Each structure stands twice: as C-alpha cells, then as structure tokens.
C-alpha cells in the first residue's frame, strides 16, 4: 500500500510521539489506527474508571483486588479506545478523506485496508474481553452493555447535532463499571459521577469539534460546535456547571461529611480548570482548541488525589 510523504504520520498526532519514533515499522499504521500516537483519548476514557474506583474505595474501603481493577481498567482503556477508534475510522473513512485534519489517518491515506482494520479491531476487543472476564459479574454485564453506545457513536454525527452526547455515554461508562467491579452493584454515587462525566465530555469535545467546523459544514457532518456557532460560551458554562454538580453529588451521596469535604476540594480544583479553559478558548484557532482539549487529562486527574485522601480520613 502507498504511504504519505511524511512516512504515515497523522496530522494531529503529538509531535515526536513514541509510535512515530520507536514503534516497529510494520506496527505503526495499526497503532496509529488505535490512536496510540494521540494518547489523550485513552486518558479521557480511563479517568472516569479511576474516578469510579477511587470513589468506591473511599466509600467502602480498600481491597487488594482494587489494584488489579485499576490496572485492568488502564489496560482495557488502551484496548477499547483502540478498538473504538478503529471502528470509528472504518465507518468514517469517506468522511475522513474529506477533512484536512483527518485525511492522513491510516485508512483514508491507504496505509491500512478496511479488512485489516476489522481484524485489528477484533483482536483488540477480544483482549479487552479477556480482562473484563476477571471482574465481578455486574461489571462484566456493564462491559457488554457498553458495546452498544460504542457501536452507535460513529453514526451519531449523521443524524443529530449532539453526537458529543453519544461520545459521553460511551466514554464515561467506566465510572459505572469500576464502581461495580469494586462493590458488586450500582447506586446513586456512580450514576451522578457518570452524568457529570457526560457533561464534561460535552464540554471538552465541543472545544475539540471547533477544529473541524468549516470542513464539517462543507461535508454535512453535525456537531455541537456547528450547532452553537460563534457563541459557545453559555453552553460550555452550562456543561461545566452540570459536570461539577454531578461530581459534587457523587461525593456527597457516597461519603460521610469529613471525607466528602476532602474530596470536594478535588471537585473545586476540577471546576477551576474548566473555568480556566473557558477563559483561554479561541474557537477561531484550531491549535488553541486542540491544546485546551488535551489539557483535560490534567483536569480529570486533579480529582484523584483528593479521593485518595478522602479514603484515609
């Protein structure tokens, strides 16, 4: 197959990433298909898992199996994000070919065939399934159910202005799954955490979508960025407020007063980061949008040490 003049590097990949520099040449196109050269998506899938687990530990106490749940979620996030991105690129190959930022991806650029991509998807999904089978029954059931929003998401931008809602449903499922893996069931705290995570996804993925707003308009792809146009600020403020409220309710319903006060400091730090992003946003500058989108790894990780501290109170 032909490769692009820049040896297959993807336009919006992190410069000098490990895939382009160190991965074996035969694997590079497949790792790019899984977005291993753009790890922010893996972090955004993993962080709600760790939120759910950390909150459950703070609420009910630590067990040694929690170390495996944390590690299993991390490995599973890499694999399922890779499988989801592969599925997304298979379904969006014609759309990606018409967008400047995405036409360098492995399928539209001719580095990987659709058949090879589907085999790669299956391999990642099977490995993720093997990890899921080591968890509690409730977590296994939730993991199987998560395949539905993952399958639907790539098509959402064809029929709704709100595809980011479907992304949020898929990307924050780990908050429910990790809580269930620790506790054996669900309750209001992980539900509030999940809903807050969906609002967070609407916040950061709307920012991300502003990179492609002109190309999306030309080819008829829908997004919240196109829906909001030049005035996203009230919407972003609402999404941020709902995200913070969801996290605050999760903490308040899961923990006694003392630990809840400690964990709430993490919620405040998260809120401050979202406010900082909103102030710095320039929707006319794609590089600014990508930079702020990537900064959400830090936003999400801010909560974790406070949940860990809450478990010690």
* DSSP assignment string, 43-58: HHHHHHHHHHHHHHHH
Least confident of 101-110, 126-135, 301-310: 101-110
* Residue 177 burial by Cβ neighbours in a 10 Å radius (0-12, 13-18, 19+): buried
How far is it, in rounded angstroms, from Cα 243 to Cα 246? 5
Note the pTM of the prediction, 2 decimals.
0.91
How far is it, in rounded angstroms, from Cα 80 to Cα 19? 18
Least confident of 8-12, 197-201, 295-299, 307-311: 8-12
Pair 311, 58: CB distance under 8 Å: yes
User: What H or E segment, with its residue span, contains residue 30?
Assistant: helix 25-33
How far is it, in rounded angstroms, from Cα 277 to Cα 293? 9
Does residue 13 have a pLDDT over 80? no
The whole-number pLDDT of residue 3 equals 40
Angle at 95 between CA 90 and CA 210, to 5 degrees: 115
**Domain range annotation of the chain:** 18-312
The CATH number fitting domain 18-312, selected from 1.10.3720.10, 3.40.1710.10, 1.10.357.140, 3.30.1360.120: 1.10.357.140
- Residues 266-271, mean pLDDT to the nearest whole number: 98
Least confident of 76-90, 100-114, 297-311: 100-114
Pair 102, 154: CB distance under 8 Å: no
């Amino acid at each position: 197959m032909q490769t692009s003049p820049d040896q297959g590097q993807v336009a919006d990949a992190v410069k000098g990433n490990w895939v382009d520099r160190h991965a074996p040449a035969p694997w590079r196109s497949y790792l790019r298909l899984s977005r291993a050269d753009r790890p922010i998506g893996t972090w955004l899938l993993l962080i709600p898992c760790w939120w759910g687990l950390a909150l459950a530990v703070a609420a009910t106490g630590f067990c040694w199996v929690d170390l495996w749940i944390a590690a299993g979620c991390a490995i599973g996030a890499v694999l399922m994000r890779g499988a989801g991105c592969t599925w997304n690129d298979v379904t969006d190959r014609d759309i990606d070919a018409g967008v400047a930022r995405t036409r360098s991806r492995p399928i539209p650029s001719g580095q990987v065939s659709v058949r090879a991509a589907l085999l790669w998807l299956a391999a990642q999904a099977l490995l993720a399934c093997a990890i899921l089978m080591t968890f509690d029954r409730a977590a296994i059931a939730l993991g199987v159910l998560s395949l539905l929003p993952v399958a639907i998401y790539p098509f959402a931008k064809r029929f709704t202005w709100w595809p980011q809602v479907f992304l949020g449903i898929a990307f924050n499922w780990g908050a429910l799954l990790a809580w269930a893996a620790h506790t054996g069931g669900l309750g209001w705290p992980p539900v509030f955490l999940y809903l807050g995570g969906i609002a967070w996804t609407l916040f950061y993925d709307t920012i991300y979508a502003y990179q492609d707003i002109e190309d999306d308009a030309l080819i008829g792809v829908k997004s919240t960025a196109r829906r909001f146009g030049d005035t996203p600020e009230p919407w972003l403020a609402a999404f941020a407020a709902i995200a913070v409220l969801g996290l605050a309710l999760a903490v308040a319903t899961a923990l006694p007063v003392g630990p809840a006060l400690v964990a709430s400091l993490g919620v405040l730090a998260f809120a401050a980061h979202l406010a900082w992003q909103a102030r710095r946003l320039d929707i006319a500058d794609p590089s600014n949008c990508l930079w702020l989108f990537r900064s959400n790894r830090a936003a999400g990780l801010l909560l974790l040490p406070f949940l860990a501290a809450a478990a010690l109170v």
